[in-house]
Amino acid sequence: MEGGGGSWRAHLPWRSRQRVVRRIFEVLERSFPADLTEGLIDLQRVAERLEWRIYSVACDQNEYLRRISLRILYFSSESPLLLEPRPTQMALPSNELSHRREVDHSDTEEDLLDRDRPRSHKKLCEDDRLSDLPDSMLHHIMSFLSAKEAARTCVLSQRWRLLWTSAPCLDISIDQFGNDRVRFSKFVEHLLQSRAPASLDTFCLHTCALDRACNWIDHAIKHNVRVLEFTEDARWEPLYLDPQCLAFSSEFLTCLKLTNVALDGSVFDPLSRTCPSLETLQLIGSFSEVSEISSNSLKRLDIIDCFFSKDLMICTPNLISLCFESPQCKCAWFNDPSKTTAAITLCDISSAKIIELSSSMIQVRFSKELLRCMFNNLKNLSLGEWCLSDNFSPLVYFLQHSPRLEKLTLKLKSDNGVGIDTICLHERSFSSDLLKKATIFCTEGDARVSVLMTMLRANAKSLEEVDIIHY
């Protein structure tokens, strides 16, 4: 999807790109702390993928060089990533600092069990009614704790000693370790190795510049996790989810949420076959080489602030909620798809109850089949600037084909006066008997708002409220 900017790539020598990769690697090597000797991250690989992403995104050579320079400057700054452990104890009072030294060391069960128990331990446990609860209830209580806090419960009593090893919910975040990546990595490795051979229900993982994260995600998938949430710290580059290390293939996975990741083209190949129970998929701030998202089970799809290096087709016939919001993407309206090369094609979303398409830059088009369908279940519709193109045709199409629509939201970014003088309201008629509320976000003085108001009030007889919100 290079468009008119493809020629500059053909004229950019491979050796020049290699020099850029080498320069990025040198900067990363100087910027990272000494714990890189632990093998936490492959900087050469990071440099190569960073250069490739910028090479794929840039419109021309000047933008390519500008983006490269900005990333190098970012990594060269005095506090580029703040990857060194944070001195969280410096601001604590002396008495609290002393207490923290006693209890904050324990990353593993062994550390906790080696400590002397309080002298009054036996007396305190005589009326321990909490431990009399069944495992399932205690595990539910643990689900509100972080993995680090759950592991600490092993010192409470003999009843709790191994209970944490079978907890079905794990919430693991590097933030709980003062950003100490070495200590965090050792804790996660020990945690996963110490767990009983039980299935996982929920696995939430937040890391920063750790290659092993792919193996930890794969561990969760292999232990039949149902809800999987992964976030790579925004201070670092998107984590490449290497298909050699993990595979999103599970009949148990129902919810998958990924933030700040780089997706290989084969990672969702295809979801209907590899994840037949998946109902929720959320991608945020990620880089994707995926060409198709196809699933018969998917009910909710959120794509927010993502960049796609390849054309993407979305085929989700049972989808209930679709949210496509990104400054890098632009929804477009084409009755004749051959007139353009679209980045994203939407198919089979006629069952959706909630649709949000408020993107602007790369084109999103609708399949011919979708253009002929009725959105019989649609109740909540949110559209961006693109819906006013071609004399409001996209907006009117949705209104004409959504008989159960109750709420309409329009997010208008700029007033470019697209054909407002030539619009024939008679040709833009529709019937919305259930539409009760409309909200329009716009700049003050947008001339299109009055036309929209007239059109809505003339056709939506049940409309009770119209809110105009200025940016």
393-407 pLDDT tens trace:
888 888 888 989 999
Please determine, for residue 96, whether its predicted confidence score (pLDDT) is greater than 70: no
Residue 445: which pLDDT band, with cuts at 50, 70 and 90? confident
Q: Which of 12-16, 23-27, 229-233, 360-364 has the highest mean pLDDT?
A: 229-233
Regarding predicted confidence, which is higher, 86 or 127?
A: 127
CA atoms of 106 and 286, how far apart (whole Å): 34
- Binned at pLDDT 50, 70 and 90, residue 13 comes out as very high
Are the C-beta atoms of 201 and 168 separated by less than 8 Å?
yes
**Comparison of pLDDT for 274 and 326, the residue scoring more:** 274
* Residue 92: per-residue pLDDT: 38
Best CA proximity match to 447, nearest among 400, 388, 382: 388
What is the phi-psi region of residue 364: left when phi exceeds 0, alpha when psi lies from -120 to 50, beta otherwise? beta
Structure confidence at residue 70 (pLDDT)? 92
Q: Return d(Cα 118, Cα 384) in angstroms, integer.
A: 62
* pLDDT surpassing 90 at residue 329: no
Contacts 24+ apart (CB under 8 A), 185-194: 185/38, 185/40, 185/210, 185/212, 186/107, 187/107, 187/108, 187/148, 188/212, 188/216, 190/107, 190/108, 190/109, 191/147, 191/151, 192/216, 192/219, 194/108, 194/109, 194/165
Q: Under a CB-based contact definition with an 8 Å cutoff, are residues 381 and 405 in contact?
A: yes
403 Cβ neighbours under 8 A, 6+ residues apart: 374, 376, 431, 432, 433, 434
143 or 204: which leads in pLDDT: 204
Q: What integer pLDDT is reported at residue 98 of this predicted model?
A: 43
Between CA 401 and CA 52 the distance in angstroms is 42
Instruction: Please say whether the beta carbons of 397 and 425 come within 8 A.
Output: no
pLDDT (0 to 100) of residue 372: 67
Task: Say whether pLDDT at 216 is over 90.
Answer: yes
pLDDT tens digits, 126-139: 566 777 888 888 88
Is the model more confident about 80 or about 454? 454
Give this prediction's pTM: 0.81
**What share of the chain in percent tops pLDDT 70?**
77
Listed residue (442, 450, 447, 448) closest to 468, CA to CA? 442
pLDDT value for 114: 39
pLDDT at 89: 38
Q: Are 153 and 178 in contact (CB under 8 A)?
A: no
Helix (H) or strand (E) holding 438: strand 437-442
Task: Give which of 380, 323, 317 is closest to 354, Cα–Cα.
Answer: 380
Q: Residue type for 183, please?
A: R
β partners of residue 206: 173, 231
Burial class of residue 371 (count of CB atoms within 10 Å of its CB; 0-12, 13-18, 19+):
middle
- DSSP-H helix ranges across 36-134: 43-57, 61-76, 94-103, 109-113, 121-125
Nearest 5°: phi and psi at 239?
-75, 125
7 has a pLDDT exceeding 90 = no
Which DSSP helix (H) or strand (E) runs through 421?
none
Query: Residue 72 in contact with residue 24, Cβ under 8 Å?
Result: yes
- The residue type found at 383 is L
In angstroms, how far is CA 290 from the centroid of its own chain? 15
Provide mean pLDDT across the span 242-251.
90
Alpha helix stretches (DSSP H) within 261-382: 271-274, 368-371
Angle at 33 between CA 67 and CA 43, to 5 degrees: 50
- Maximum distance among all alpha carbons in the chain? 86
367 vs 251, more confident: 251
The tens digit of pLDDT for each residue in 37-69 reads 567 888 899 999 999 999 988 889 999 999 999
Structure tokens at 348: 């089979």
Residue-averaged pLDDT of the chain: 80
The mean per-residue pLDDT over the stretch 81-106 comes to 44
CA distance 82 to 101: 23
- β-sheet bridge partners, residue 410: 383, 440
- pLDDT tens-place string over residues 158-176: 888 888 888 999 999 999 9
Look-up of token digits 């004409």: 400
- Please, which pLDDT band fits residue 386 given cuts at 50, 70 and 90? confident
CA distance 267 to 265: 6
The upper half-sphere exposure of residue 128, i.e. CA atoms within 13 Å in the direction of its Cβ, equals 13
**d(Cα 324, Cα 363) in Å, to the nearest integer?**
12
Confidence of residue 340 (pLDDT cuts 50, 70, 90): very low
Q: Give the integer Cα–Cα distance in Å for 59 and 57.
A: 7
Per-residue model confidence as pLDDT tens digits over 272-297 = 788 999 999 999 999 988 888 999 99
